[in-house]
């Protein structure tokens, strides 16, 4: 049984099929995609194809177990309260060293793998450093840069073609784009006392911090485009006047430094750093060179 070569990710599906057919599977993969459901669907199809390949058992029964996620050699892990702790990875390792139920491979899928805390990530790294036979680990991530570099270097990386993040945000006004633009203005043009006003705001918005940081990066990219007379490439076209004003206030160095700071804050969010620290840091990063 192979993966159906359908959907938006035909090349990736075709590549994975060849890996199965030629017995060239890696022990660990990273699927990077901004579309959670699509990457998970491909991971499940890949797992099913591996687990049913060349098995002489009752295929209908096996397929039913896989479709209902009750297959004993398929293990799926996901965050609890927005974090993956070490106990999840300890569980993965426990099953990795056990004999497979059907004498084939064991598959482990970790959803939102960038949400592993440091202890979990280091534990997984040790497993990747000492390969275990007959297992395949698939890490699903939105942003591969949020994983430890030592983990990514030991995995085969497949980057999915997905719709431009900027188009997704602009198409869906429910994501708070206008509200967060006004927030960006308030921070960029305020003084350090704005921290106290924002602490309550971020307490309410703590589940949306990554989305806020993503949108802030889009605003900064628009400012950079305005500075080089590429207004036609601006995503937030309804905010061109405000962006033009910011282009006179932000140097290229400042834009670059703020984006670097936002990337670091995304790592802090994954590590479950206190939201007050995130708020303080965000204000400091944006205001530092003003």
Residue 175, pLDDT score = 55
* Model pTM above 0.85: no
DSSP 152-193: HTTSEEEEPP---HHHHHHH-GGG-HHHHHHHHHHHHHS-TT
166, pLDDT greater than 70:
no
What integer is the mean pLDDT of 169-183?
Answer: 67
* C-alpha to C-alpha distances, 7 to 31, 48, 193, 278, nearest whole angstrom: 16, 17, 50, 39
DSSP letter, residue 125: H
Cα gap 63→49, rounded to integer Å: 10
What integer is the mean pLDDT of 140-144?
Answer: 88
Cα gap 96→110, rounded to integer Å: 14
DSSP letter, residue 205: T
Q: Which residue ranges form the domains of the chain, and what is each CATH number?
A: 10-159 (3.40.50.300), 165-287 (no CATH)
Q: 82-86, 138-142, 176-180: which range is least confident on average?
A: 176-180
pLDDT in tens, 10-44: 788 888 888 888 888 999 999 998 788 888 989 98
Cα gap 151→122, rounded to integer Å: 9
Contact 107, 51 (CB under 8 A): yes
The residue among 51 and 269 whose pLDDT is bigger is 51
- Tell which residue, 136, 68, 62, has the closest CA to residue 102: 62
Cα gap 161→167, rounded to integer Å: 14
Residue 30, pLDDT score = 95
Q: What is the mean pLDDT of the chain?
A: 82
Cα gap 286→49, rounded to integer Å: 48
Cα gap 62→2, rounded to integer Å: 14
Residue 168, pLDDT score = 45
Half-sphere exposure of 32 (CA within 13 A, CB side): 12
């Amino acid at each position: 049984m192979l993966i159906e070569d359908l959907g938006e990710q035909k090349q990736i599906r075709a590549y994975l099929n060849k890996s199965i057919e030629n017995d060239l599977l890696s022990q660990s993969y990273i699927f990077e995609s901004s579309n959670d459901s699509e990457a998970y669907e491909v991971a499940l199809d890949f797992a099913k194809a591996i687990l049913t390949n060349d098995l002489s058992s009752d295929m209908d029964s096996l397929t039913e177990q896989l479709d209902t996620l009750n297959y004993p050699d398929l293990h799926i892990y996901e965050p609890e309260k927005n974090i993956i702790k070490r106990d999840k990875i300890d569980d993965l390792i426990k099953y990795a060293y056990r004999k497979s139920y059907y004498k084939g491979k064991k598959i482990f899928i970790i959803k939102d793998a960038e949400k592993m805390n440091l202890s979990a990530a280091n534990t997984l790294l040790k497993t990747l450093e000492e390969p275990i036979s007959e297992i395949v680990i698939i890490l699903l991530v939105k942003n591969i840069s949020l994983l430890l570099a030592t983990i990514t270097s030991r995995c085969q990386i497949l980057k999915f073609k997905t719709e431009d993040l900027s188009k997704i945000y602009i198409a869906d006004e429910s994501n708070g784009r206008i509200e967060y633009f006004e927030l960006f203005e308030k921070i960029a043009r305020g003084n350090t006392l704005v921290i106290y006003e924002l602490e309550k705001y971020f307490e309410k918005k703590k589940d949306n911090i990554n989305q806020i940081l993503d949108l802030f990066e889009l605003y900064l990219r628009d400012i950079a485009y305005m500075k080089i007379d590429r207004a036609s490439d601006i995503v937030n076209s309804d905010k061109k006047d405000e962006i033009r004003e910011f282009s006179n206030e932000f140097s290229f160095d400042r834009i670059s430094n703020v984006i670097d700071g936002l990337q670091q804050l995304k790592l802090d969010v994954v590590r479950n750093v206190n939201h007050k620290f995130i708020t303080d840091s965000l204000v400091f990063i944006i205001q530092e060179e003003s």
